[in-house]
Amino acid sequence: MSDKKTKSLADLGLTAQGGAEACVTGLSVDSREVQEGHLFAALPGSRVHGAEFIQYALRMGAGAILTDAEGARIAADVLAGDPAALVVVEDPRAALAYAAALWFGAQPEVMVAVTGTNGKTSVASFTRQIWQSLGVPAVNVGTTGVEGDWETPLAHTTPEPITLHRVLAEAVAAGITHAAMEASSHGLAQKRLDGVRLTAAGFTNLTQDHLDYHADFAEYFAAKAGLFSRVLSDEGVAVIQMDGASAAEMAGIAEKAGLEVIRVGRGESCHLRILGLRFDATGQDLRFSWNGAVHLARLDLIGGFQSENVMVAAGLAIGSGSDPAEVFRALPQLAGVRGRMQLAATRKNGAAVYVDYAHTPDALSTALKALRPHVMGRLVCVFGAGGDRDTAKRPLMGKAVAENADVAFVTDDNPRSEDPAAIRAAVLSGCPDATEVGDRAEAILRGVDALQPGDALLVAGKGHEQGQTVGDTVFPFDDVEQASVAVAALDGHLI
């Protein structure tokens, strides 16, 4: 990025070796984007250290280098005699996060973040919608980009700090005062949120995912827990969904950090307690209590898990200062997120087709179990597993569908560099009675064709995504569009 303003290293909370100074004109993590006077952050990576690119950053005119001791050692010959200021810190990722916050300066006045394996996008969207219903300009930031009263696309759920703080500053310039963020385990592990000033943070659940990145489940949990133990200030409020296996431990971490904790769930100790749900074809009626007082809300949302997401969102709104009564009045207005249990099409015989982002064993199980009370007939599921990702979850995904769906089709879902047939075989090992259909469009068509009156089809895995990644190529593909096309081809109409 480039910017006409300049700041000293001290302005960015940094001190260079030997007391060297630099007039910083911008921040970069990609050496190809460095401009004259930039601070280049050479960060440790999973495959190569960013210090390998310091030589290119200096050729582009970098005025300062931020790295760790290893990075300084790797680039010692390149740095020798160069006038660029060298900042060596123990944790350059955290230092960059705070430097980016200081560089861009502005953040929405009220910010919350939510972490967990499933539900982050829905919770962030619901929180933003609650705020909007209360008349405040708000956005949600995450998997679907920046949405709300100001919008812009994003490449990652939790962007790297320079992009994140640029976007937050632009949101403030557009008049945004409230923002709800998704906090991914990658983003938390890489300290991308460390410069964000949060008033509240939420936790949804924790199940197996991203073990291709994290060494084990304990490391995955620790990354998520960093939102409460490190990022959220001790004056913040933690909103914990208590019904999952890791919830009590997460709540304990929040309490140990001195945070006020709002418990959400079905247990008697919950401040926001789900008392009952009644399902029908178009949504659910939610009976809940807040500190003992009972409330009712109609939710035009499919799936009991959505009531849990709604309660976490309500907790975040309350925890960040909104009046509880006004928050509860806003709940019936909430709309689902694209690709999250989204009604994509309806057949002439009344059978419905839903699209959901579920791409983990727990998410598949949760989605199918949640859909079951809304369906009189059979549950049909089209799903697959991604390539170059956690291989251990593939048979578990198959098992989840085998246990919760009546008819299953195993297909491709972003095979990337792997052999698609090998991925399908691994999934089928957990769902041996499923029908294998490699072509995803054909699988959706066959799933739609199988629907009888009273049935429902869940197309799982992609949700809002609009591409199928094969090798290094991303082919246009939209599950919602394909479902509509399939219904049109078989019934001659679209919803």
Of 287, 261, 257, 283, the residue nearest 273 (C-alpha): 287
**Exposed / middle / buried, residue 213 (Cβ in 10 Å: 0-12, 13-18, 19+):** middle
The CA distance from 64 to 86, in Å, is 6
Please report which confidence band the pLDDT of residue 403 belongs to, taking 50, 70 and 90 as the band edges: very high
The pair of structure tokens assigned to 38 is: 């930039």
pLDDT at residue 328 greater than cutoff 50 = yes
Give the number of other CB atoms < 10 A from CB of residue 293.
10
pLDDT at residue 337 greater than cutoff 70 = yes
Helices within 258-341 (DSSP H only): 304-319, 324-330
The CA distance from 261 to 366, in Å, is 25
Report the pLDDT averaged over residues 319-332: 98
* Residue 482, CA distances (Å) to 359, 473, 491, 493 in order: 18, 19, 14, 13
Per the prediction, the chain carries an average pLDDT of 94
pLDDT at residue 412 greater than cutoff 50 = yes
> What type of residue is 155?
A
Q: Which residues are paired to 295 by β-bridges?
A: 288
pLDDT of residue 1: 44
**Exposed / middle / buried, residue 182 (Cβ in 10 Å: 0-12, 13-18, 19+):** buried
The contacts of residue 40 (CB under 8 Å, 6+ apart) are 28, 29, 31, 34, 53, 54, 57, 62, 64, 65, 66
Report the pLDDT averaged over residues 138-149: 95
Residue count of the chain: 495
Of 92, 24, 96, the residue nearest 62 (C-alpha): 24
Contact between residue 482 and residue 342 where contact means Cβ atoms under 8 Å apart = no
> What type of residue is 215?
A
Please report which confidence band the pLDDT of residue 215 belongs to, taking 50, 70 and 90 as the band edges: low
Report the pLDDT averaged over residues 406-415: 98
pLDDT of residue 143: 87
pLDDT of residue 212: 47
> What type of residue is 146?
V
pLDDT of residue 132: 98
pLDDT at residue 208 greater than cutoff 60 = no
Dihedrals φ, ψ of 31, to 5°?
A: -60, -25
In 3-state terms, what secondary structure has residue 481? helix
Cα 361 to chain centroid distance, Å, stands at: 17
**0.95 surpassed by pTM:** no
In 3-state terms, what secondary structure has residue 44? coil
Please report which confidence band the pLDDT of residue 118 belongs to, taking 50, 70 and 90 as the band edges: confident
Please report which confidence band the pLDDT of residue 363 belongs to, taking 50, 70 and 90 as the band edges: confident
Please report which confidence band the pLDDT of residue 362 belongs to, taking 50, 70 and 90 as the band edges: confident
pLDDT at residue 2 greater than cutoff 50 = no
pLDDT at residue 495 greater than cutoff 90 = no
Residue with the two structure tokens 């990354």: 223
Of 252, 243, 250, the residue nearest 270 (C-alpha): 243
pLDDT of residue 157: 86
Please report which confidence band the pLDDT of residue 493 belongs to, taking 50, 70 and 90 as the band edges: low
